[in-house]
Amino acid sequence: MRSKVGVASFLVGAVCVGLFAQQRSVPSDKPETPFKLATVQISGRTRLGLVIGTRVLDIAAANDALTKSAGLPSLRIPSEMRELIESYDSVKPRLYQIANAYRSAGGAKVPYAFGLDEVGARAPIKYPYNLLAAAANYRLHAGEMFPPGSPQQKAAEEADPDKEDPVFFAKSPRSCIIDPGEPYYMPPNRNIDWEGELAIIIGKPAFNVSEGQAHDYVFGYSIMYDVSDRGGAGRPLTAMFPGPNWFRGKSRDRSAPFGPFILPKEFAPNPPHFHIVTSVNGVVKQDGNTKNLIWDEPHMIRFLSSTLTLYPGDVISSGTPDGVGAGRKPPEYLKPGDVVTITIDGIGTLTTPMRAAR
């Protein structure tokens, strides 16, 4: 018969083993807890963040903590978003484990979790190799930009994505991308417009990709503000090339506010139909849905990859819905002091204040 001391020792040991086993439990490596990805500033350092609800987990610190508490093998997770996208297949099980462990703990207070208001959001990718933007990719937007009854408006109404290719333009990632909350400095005497757009993020090298394969090459989705210069005072374009100056109109410095988050495609609707709302000073100007794109994700990726190679982290800005300032009667344009917000359901809100040129 065991002594009382022996029984007590046995019970204490069993409790300790149970606690250790609980601490050492390995969380699921399946995508059971939705999250978004972000590039953030924490204590003056640029970090990658895992966004769950209103909390941001410092991925590097969370990975270290989980490796120790669950006895997992050491795994290096990239500290830069483009590299993370390139290696996502190998690291996403660990990201799922981090998210699942945090959810299982009920959002407990841990040193690697922060409120959204405690971190500084940055553009998610600095910088993609390519930033490519679709022109006139919603019928109603195309209709508001062309004169009624014009051949262009008729072409927009009758556009057939299976028989015609879209039109794209490029913005310089290094010169155009700015962080969420950063101001756009308005050049004097120019008509600056708002255009809220869904950004498609490429996940792996894509060349000559078919429409049926296109979604396999997508990493996720974010928000892009295609700042547009609709004209104004300045030297005219040479008469050799009639029509608008697309370079000046679309590629001005800081003309691509981007972010704040990337929603990985496994947590996004499929097909990727997103509700987009653009507001100026709190007044709704655009209210659209990507289900109304003329050239949808497969058509855009097929066309672009038939022309050039897309790389991990590349951004496709998919075009803007109707409701832009240039399409209004009379036209409306932004002024210094205005604030443009673009909200896409499931992704977040991108805010850009307008400022007079420095």
Same domain, 149 and 289: yes
Same domain, 279 and 325: yes
- For 114-117, which contacts have Cβ atoms below 8 Å and span 24 or more sequence positions? 114/42, 114/55, 114/56, 114/57, 114/58, 115/54, 115/55, 115/56, 116/51, 116/54, 116/55, 116/56
Considering the domain boundaries, does residue 13 fall inside one? no
Q: Which of the listed residues 85, 100, 122 is the one where a domain comes to its end?
A: 122
Same domain, 293 and 332: yes
Structural domain range at position 137: 131-231+245-356
State pLDDT tens for residues 101-150: 999 998 778 999 999 999 999 999 999 999 999 999 999 999 899 888 88
pLDDT per residue rounded down to tens, the chain (358 residues): 444 434 344 333 333 333 333 446 899 999 999 999 999 999 999 999 999 999 999 999 999 999 999 999 999 999 999 999 999 999 999 999 999 999 999 877 899 999 999 999 999 999 999 999 999 999 999 989 988 888 888 888 899 999 999 999 999 999 999 999 999 999 999 999 999 999 999 999 999 999 999 999 999 999 999 999 999 998 888 999 888 889 999 999 999 999 999 999 999 999 999 999 999 999 999 999 999 999 999 999 999 999 999 999 999 999 999 999 999 999 999 999 999 999 999 999 999 999 999 8
CATH number of the domain residue 164 falls in: 3.90.850.10
CATH number of the domain residue 74 falls in: 2.30.30
- Cα–Cα distance measured from residue 296 to residue 302, given in angstroms and rounded to the nearest whole number: 10
Considering the domain boundaries, does residue 311 fall inside one? yes
Strand partners, 315: 131, 201
pLDDT at 108: 76
pLDDT at 24: 62
Same domain, 275 and 310: yes
Q: Among all chains, which residue has been given the structure tokens 């462990």? A: 101
Same domain, 138 and 271: yes
Q: Which of the listed residues 73, 88, 122 is the one where a domain comes to its end?
A: 122
Q: Which of the listed residues 103, 122, 141 is the one where a domain comes to its end?
A: 122
Same domain, 219 and 111: no
pLDDT at 299: 98
Same domain, 54 and 166: no
In the three-class reduction of DSSP (H, G, I as helix; E, B as strand; rest coil), residue 355 is classed as strand
Same domain, 91 and 155: no
Same domain, 72 and 194: no
Considering the domain boundaries, does residue 258 fall inside one? yes
Number of domains comprising the chain: 2
pTM of the model: 0.92
Same domain, 104 and 183: no
